[in-house]
């Protein structure tokens, strides 16, 4: 019997025959199985670009050759600022395949933030759509590390600019060889990075290796393809992302689409009527977007009487609300939630109905589609208390979602302390508080900073807010935890009443106790009468959310 | 700009947060999503065993605890000799999860071969079904490395045996703790091994690491689940292997089934009527087997008038013949071929119809289902000439199938020369000669040792044999390549004529030339008249195949 660490007989060293997990390998089937499959791009000005997977592969080689000629090599960072285009998809493959890092710049950040991220990422080359030239002109003097700018003219004549351009994307590709000598390398090589912005501090860099991207694609493909019917992806789908490709690698789905050989439609800049026209003309059957986009699409489709059936749409970015879900179902869309964060690959749960599940009612079905979802294949998805013990999977006990999976971010770029906090105890901490049902369905109830820990129970501030808001006479409510010598914390409710309605603390308390009696609320969640206070207004953040930090500080005096 | 090998900034070292690909992780969803899913076993004597995934996980812990008490540890080899049972499935997980190697003993080999493999594998513990005790008793004195034998009594009283038994499987589990402390370790650790027998020499040991098994499961799941309809697997399937679990990890599908949370039915020893009864009573919808088993099942079902619809069955082991395929389709089975070898994980191709394919005729559909298949996701599946250049994908140019994939065997156990030959040029050589169509469909036409290389073309000996056999008056034909000063090799046909029929070399040659004129055969494939010789009989091997080696040697005089 032998020791594990030293026995070459049972632990093999990766050899010449090993097969590292590289982004290039997501392409291997493309040429043998689907060489004639289509990729299309709907530019805002130049009409439709349409080419085959075979041509796509050639252009990836040309892109790498062109970037190599501009000085990019293994280890370089290449930044992209573009709308959703075939060019972006080419960069998703070509930049990592040459061993460089694709930095997907969030073009919605402020110029100061973009400046910070371009410098922090050590970007050497920036590929920039004509629309974002003015932004770069503004910060260009503060980008000492950027050696080259490449224009994406998008079919238009090159605009006047003070930026020193190294060339135009299409012209550079046309002059470059498709036969770039892509080689194998360590699968832990960084393939892509981007920045996540919190409420405080500088944006934090998140990166993914080739191995992360490939394993995310395989587990996501397995999970999305495996349902018998409904909430699924299959080989005959036509895919169109409606999540910007700078956002968490558009959730990794473009890699899944190419792996499966799907016709892929890149819609350019998002214009609802154009998106719907593209969906119809290209036969799109699978997409993903944020709730706001879905809302706009439904409204536009309603105005023009368009049929949206045979369209499966994953909703991410923020929670899918029941009313929006119902409207989408009415329009014929098979809509369902996905869950993840910039740090998690990102997809770690999908709100697919459980195998064989027959929801008891339309409300139950909507609740399942709007829930956080069920864990993706191989994702070790735990709901734990403060001692990292699993809470019961009974749909009632709350805990923090902590994760292990083969594709989670290992660290924030250059921020060891934040990285350590992210991975306390060997699991990635999402800071989301949730419950899990017996069938693995997860529902987020709060953020950890807002949950109230009282008498050994975790109380969702959002849940109490929702119930208080239902009390007649209440216009708005915010609940936070306040320190309590006996219970650790206790909930405190700030209530704005409706003018002309009689509502008082005792009345609110009684309504909450009714919910306790009905087994719909923990008794620990009911604030004492003196912790239900009436205020003229609730403080809000710049994006309209309740500013709980401000509420907490106001209590400190 | 930086060098790839040394830059910690872009190549991350696997850290505490890394997630090695381990067999244990194929189980992570089982408990959160499918704790109540069923595993059933139909023993030959004790009736049906039925338990949940939750119980399965507990028994895996008990198995590891029991094996640990018997001395098994990280690096040990544990051999199993059993029919297809829940015990075998427990060993598929429990043995690798403790860092030991599962050795699946081929109980159909001769006692001398089993002796060789038990010693060569350095097996320390053997778990043995009562049916195989006599076999072990016979060789026991020659197994110095085996320290423990564990009986699998299969619900019967322990039989009399001269083997020194360490205990009975169920009794050992009942006394052991389910809380075995499974830990993470290097994903390149050997998880399983078995032996492949060629026509010459000792059996060769083939092993797979945890990483291999996990990646095979993910790519197979992706490929099997992704069709829109037909030839697919989904989350609501009920799975029953009908390939012995000692055979290439039953093609890796049991791992896929547990990953997807499928109800899994283990049928014990194969008895056609029992298999069909189990299929009906347990609602089995997905299986795999060799053609011989399919033939027996169809015959039994035909005799008893059973309906076999809603059953998808992959055929492997040897080629699916059109007549058998047609009979299976008539019985309602969605039957299709899988391709792989002991050395390839094994599945590298599946005969799924291409996306959107509508075969022009029943014959065309049967041909597609009987073909070698289309490459599995991420399998770099090439057809190459002797200089390793890809042949055109036109369905006509022949070459050897060579492979790269994330789960191929890296070496034969203790056989460096055979391993180097297997991996000549950095690709695994299958020694199968095939053609590939424009849609990636592969069809094997010959084995490399039988293909005839003439005038720069590769001619399939099987193809010529088939065409000669169609000539009226020909009873049988064998074709081999013979040396030729000008062409390298030329085909030579050995023909057995039917008594009372007039057939001569010129007539056979003319029929072949007709096929050349009809563009159905290369002109290089037609033997000269003096290379068509009539013989009284064709030499055969012990299993009834044409003995081409003998034919070649007979020409040498």
Q: Indicate yes or no: CB of A71 within 8 angstroms of CB of B235.
A: no
Is A354 near chain B, with CB under 8 Å? yes
- Quote the minimal CA–CA distance from A506 to chain B in Å: 41
8 A C-beta contact, residue A490 and residue A482 = yes
8 A C-beta contact, residue B479 and residue B509 = no
Rounded distance between C-alpha atoms, residue B239 and residue B258, angstroms = 10
Pairing outcome for strands A347-350 and B48-52? unpaired
Q: Indicate yes or no: CB of B35 within 8 angstroms of CB of A436.
A: no
Q: Which pLDDT score is estimated for A1?
A: 35
Across B360-365, average pLDDT: 95
Is A371 near chain B, with CB under 8 Å? no
Rounded distance between C-alpha atoms, residue A207 and residue A248, angstroms = 10
Name the residue of chain A whose CA is nearest to B218's CA. A218
Reduced to 3 states (helix: H, G, I; strand: E, B; else coil), residue B411 is coil
**Per-residue pLDDT band at B357 (split at 50, 70, 90):** confident
pLDDT digits 0-9 by tens, A345-393: 999 999 999 998 889 999 999 999 999 999 999 999 999 998 999 999 9
Across A322-336, average pLDDT: 96
**Which of B123, B145, B117, B142 has the alpha carbon at shortest distance from B76?**
B123
Reduced to 3 states (helix: H, G, I; strand: E, B; else coil), residue A366 is helix
Name the residue of chain B whose CA is nearest to A99's CA. B4
8 A C-beta contact, residue A488 and residue A454 = yes
Is A260 near chain B, with CB under 8 Å? yes
Q: Which pLDDT score is estimated for B197?
A: 82
| Fold of domain A451-555 | GMP Synthetase; Chain A, domain 3 (3.30.300)
Tokens representing A135 are 């932004």
Q: What strands, in cross-sheet order, belong to the sheet with B428-436?
A: B380-384, B399-404, B428-436, B442-447
Q: State the distance between the two ends of chain A, measured CA to CA, in whole angstroms.
A: 67
Across B5-23, average pLDDT: 70
Whether A101 is catalytic is: no
8 A C-beta contact, residue A351 and residue A368 = yes
8 A C-beta contact, residue B529 and residue B505 = yes
Size of interface A-B (CB pairs under 8 A): 223
Using the predicted structure, report yes or no on whether residue B121 has a pLDDT greater than 60. yes
* Dihedral of the alpha carbons of B8, B10, B11, B15, in degrees to the nearest 10: 80
Please give the DSSP secondary-structure letter assigned to residue A301: H
Q: Indicate yes or no: CB of A75 within 8 angstroms of CB of B188.
A: no
**Per-residue pLDDT band at B182 (split at 50, 70, 90):** very high
Tokens representing B504 are 């001569």
Across A476-480, average pLDDT: 93
Name the residue of chain A whose CA is nearest to B101's CA. A10
Catalytic residues of B: 196, 343, 453, 458
Q: Which pLDDT score is estimated for A502?
A: 83
8 A C-beta contact, residue A139 and residue A128 = no
Mutate to test the interface with A, among B5, B8, B12, B411 (most CBs of A within 10 A): B12
Q: Indicate yes or no: CB of A11 within 8 angstroms of CB of B227.
A: no
**Which of B21, B404, B29, B357 has the alpha carbon at shortest distance from B214?**
B21
Q: What are phi and psi of A147, to 5 degrees?
A: -95, -25
pLDDT digits 0-9 by tens, A453-468: 888 888 889 889 989 9
- Quote the minimal CA–CA distance from A25 to chain B in Å: 6
Is B545 near chain A, with CB under 8 Å? no
Task: Give B 287-326 residues with CB within 8 A of chain A.
Answer: none
Rounded distance between C-alpha atoms, residue A452 and residue A450, angstroms = 6
Reduced to 3 states (helix: H, G, I; strand: E, B; else coil), residue B301 is helix
Of A11, A15, A74, nearest to B4 by CB-CB distance is A74
* Burial class of residue B230 (count of CB atoms within 10 Å of its CB; 0-12, 13-18, 19+): exposed
| Fold of domain B450-555 | GMP Synthetase; Chain A, domain 3 (3.30.300)
Across B471-496, average pLDDT: 93
Instruction: For chain B, state the CA radius of gyration.
Output: 25
Please give the DSSP secondary-structure letter assigned to residue A404: E
Whether A40 is catalytic is: no
Q: Indicate yes or no: CB of B226 within 8 angstroms of CB of A233.
A: yes
Using the predicted structure, report yes or no on whether residue B437 has a pLDDT greater than 70. yes
Reduced to 3 states (helix: H, G, I; strand: E, B; else coil), residue B220 is helix
Name the residue of chain B whose CA is nearest to A192's CA. B10
Rounded distance between C-alpha atoms, residue A235 and residue A237, angstroms = 6
8 A C-beta contact, residue A125 and residue A103 = no
Mutate to test the interface with B, among A10, A71, A344 (most CBs of B within 10 A): A10
Whether A196 is catalytic is: yes
**Which of A107, A99, A98 has the alpha carbon at shortest distance from A126?**
A107
Across B69-89, average pLDDT: 97
In degrees, rounded to 5, the angle at the alpha carbon of residue A162 between the alpha carbons of residues A158 and A163 is 80
Percent of the residues in chain B that have a pLDDT greater than 70, as a whole number: 96
Is B6 near chain A, with CB under 8 Å? no
Contacts for B12 with CB less than 8 Å, ≥ 6 apart: A188, A190, A209, A410, A411
In chain B, residues with a C-beta closer than 8 Å to the C-beta of A233 are: 226
Rounded distance between C-alpha atoms, residue A520 and residue B480, angstroms = 80
Using the predicted structure, report yes or no on whether residue B145 has a pLDDT greater than 90. yes
Across B270-282, average pLDDT: 95
Average pLDDT of chain B, as a whole number: 92
8 A C-beta contact, residue B388 and residue B228 = no
- DSSP run (H or E) holding A159: none
In chain A, residues with a C-beta closer than 8 Å to the C-beta of B404 are: 19
In chain A, residues with a C-beta closer than 8 Å to the C-beta of B214 are: 378
Q: Indicate yes or no: CB of A408 within 8 angstroms of CB of B19.
A: yes
Q: Indicate yes or no: CB of A25 within 8 angstroms of CB of B378.
A: yes
pLDDT digits 0-9 by tens, A40-97: 998 766 688 999 999 999 999 999 999 999 999 999 999 999 999 999 999 999 999 9
Name the residue of chain B whose CA is nearest to A382's CA. B32
Rounded distance between C-alpha atoms, residue B424 and residue B15, angstroms = 34
8 A C-beta contact, residue B78 and residue B220 = no
Domain boundaries, chain A: 18-209, 451-555
Name the residue of chain B whose CA is nearest to A222's CA. B222
Using the predicted structure, report yes or no on whether residue A471 has a pLDDT greater than 50. yes
| Fold of domain A18-209 | Rossmann fold (3.40.50)
**Which of A408, A409, A389, A407 has the alpha carbon at shortest distance from A399?**
A389
Residue entry with tokens 């405080």: A200
Rounded distance between C-alpha atoms, residue A551 and residue A533, angstroms = 12
Tokens representing A163 are 């930026």
Of B10, B14, B188, nearest to A189 by CB-CB distance is B10
In chain A, residues with a C-beta closer than 8 Å to the C-beta of B34 are: 440
Rounded distance between C-alpha atoms, residue A84 and residue A259, angstroms = 19
Q: Which pLDDT score is estimated for B5?
A: 43
Q: Looking at the DSSP assignment, which residues form a beta bridge with residue B78? A: B102, B125
Pairing outcome for strands B77-81 and B125-129? parallel
**Which of B302, B251, B267 has the alpha carbon at shortest distance from B86?**
B267
8 A C-beta contact, residue A131 and residue A270 = no
CA distance to A181, B489, B506, B511, B534, per residue, from B531 (Å) = 47, 12, 11, 15, 10
- Give this prediction's pTM: 0.92
Rounded distance between C-alpha atoms, residue A150 and residue A164, angstroms = 9
**Per-residue pLDDT band at B105 (split at 50, 70, 90):** very high
Residue entry with tokens 């956080």: A372
Using the predicted structure, report yes or no on whether residue B4 has a pLDDT greater than 80. no
| Sign of the alpha-carbon torsion through A100, A101, A103, A104 | positive
In chain A, residues with a C-beta closer than 8 Å to the C-beta of B125 are: none
Q: Which pLDDT score is estimated for A457?
A: 82
Q: Indicate yes or no: CB of B188 within 8 angstroms of CB of A14.
A: yes
List the catalytic residue out of A44, A52, A161, A196.
A196
Name the residue of chain B whose CA is nearest to A348's CA. B29
Q: Looking at the DSSP assignment, which residues form a beta bridge with residue B287? A: B240, B313
**Per-residue pLDDT band at A101 (split at 50, 70, 90):** very high
Task: Give B 61-80 residues with CB within 8 A of chain A.
Answer: 71-76
Rounded distance between C-alpha atoms, residue A117 and residue A75, angstroms = 17
Rounded distance between C-alpha atoms, residue B47 and residue B155, angstroms = 9
Please give the DSSP secondary-structure letter assigned to residue A141: G
């Amino acid at each position: 019997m032998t020791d594990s660490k030293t026995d070459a007989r049972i632990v093999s060293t990766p050899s010449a025959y090993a097969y590292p997990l590289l982004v290039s390998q997501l392409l291997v089937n493309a040429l043998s199985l689907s060489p004639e499959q289509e990729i299309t791009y709907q530019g805002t000005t130049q009409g439709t670009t349409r080419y085959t997977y075979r041509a796509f592969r050639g252009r990836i080689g040309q892109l790498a050759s062109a970037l190599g000629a501009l000085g990019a090599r293994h280890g370089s960072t290449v930044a992209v600022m573009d709308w959703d285009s075939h060019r972006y998809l080419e960069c998703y493959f070509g930049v990592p395949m040459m061993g460089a890092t694709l930095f997907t710049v969030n073009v919605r950040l402020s110029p100061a933030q973009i400046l910070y991220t371009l410098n922090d990422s050590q970007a050497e080359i920036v590929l920039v759509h004509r629309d974002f030239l003015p932004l770069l002109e503004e910060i260009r003097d503060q980008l000492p590390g950027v050696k080259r700018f490449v224009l994406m003219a998008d079919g238009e004549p090159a605009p006047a600019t003070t930026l020193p351009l190294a060339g135009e994307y299409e012209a550079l590709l046309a002059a470059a060889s498709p036969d770039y000598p892509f080689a194998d390398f360590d699968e832990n090589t960084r393939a892509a990075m981007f920045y996540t912005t919190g409420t405080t501090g500088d944006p934090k860099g998140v990166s993914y290796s080739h191995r992360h991207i490939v394993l995310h694609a395989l587990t996501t493909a397995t999970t999305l393809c495996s349902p018998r019917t409904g909430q699924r992806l299959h080989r005959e789908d036509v895919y169109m992302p409606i999540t910007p490709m700078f956002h968490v690698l558009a959730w990794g789905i473009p890699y899944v689409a190419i792996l499966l050989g799907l016709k892929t439609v890149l819609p350019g800049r998002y214009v609802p009527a154009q998106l719907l026209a593209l969906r119809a003309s290209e036969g799109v059957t699978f997409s993903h977007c944020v709730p706001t986009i879905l809302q706009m699409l439904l409204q536009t489709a309603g105005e023009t009487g368009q049929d949206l059936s045979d369209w499966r749409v994953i909703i991410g970015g923020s929670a899918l609300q029941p009313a929006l879900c119902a409207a989408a179902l009415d329009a014929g869309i098979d809509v369902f939630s996905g869950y993840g964060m910039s740090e998690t690959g990102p997809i770690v749960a999908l709100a697919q109905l459980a195998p064989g599940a027959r929801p008891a009612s339309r409300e139950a079905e909507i609740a399942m589609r709007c829930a956080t979802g069920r864990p993706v294949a191989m994702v070790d998805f735990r709901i734990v208390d403060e001692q990292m013990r699993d809470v019961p999977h009974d749909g009632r006990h709350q805990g923090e979602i902590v994760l292990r999976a083969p594709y989670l971010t290992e660290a924030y770029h250059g921020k060891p302390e934040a990285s350590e906090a992210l991975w306390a105890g060997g699991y990635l901490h999402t800071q989301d508080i949730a419950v899990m049902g017996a069938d693995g369905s997860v529902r987020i109830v709060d953020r950890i900073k807002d949950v109230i820990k009282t008498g050994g129970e975790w109380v969702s501030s959002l849940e109490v807010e929702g119930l208080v808001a239902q009390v007649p006479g209440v216009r708005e409510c915010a609940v936070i935890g306040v320190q309590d010598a006996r219970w650790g914390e206790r909930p405190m409710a700030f209530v704005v009443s409706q003018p002309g309605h009689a509502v008082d603390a005792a009345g609110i308390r009684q309504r909450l106790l009714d919910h306790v009696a009905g087994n719909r609320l923990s008794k620990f969640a009911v604030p004492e009468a003196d912790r239900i206070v009436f205020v003229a207004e609730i403080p809000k953040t710049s994006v309209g959310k309740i500013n709980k930090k401000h509420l907490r500080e106001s209590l400190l005096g």
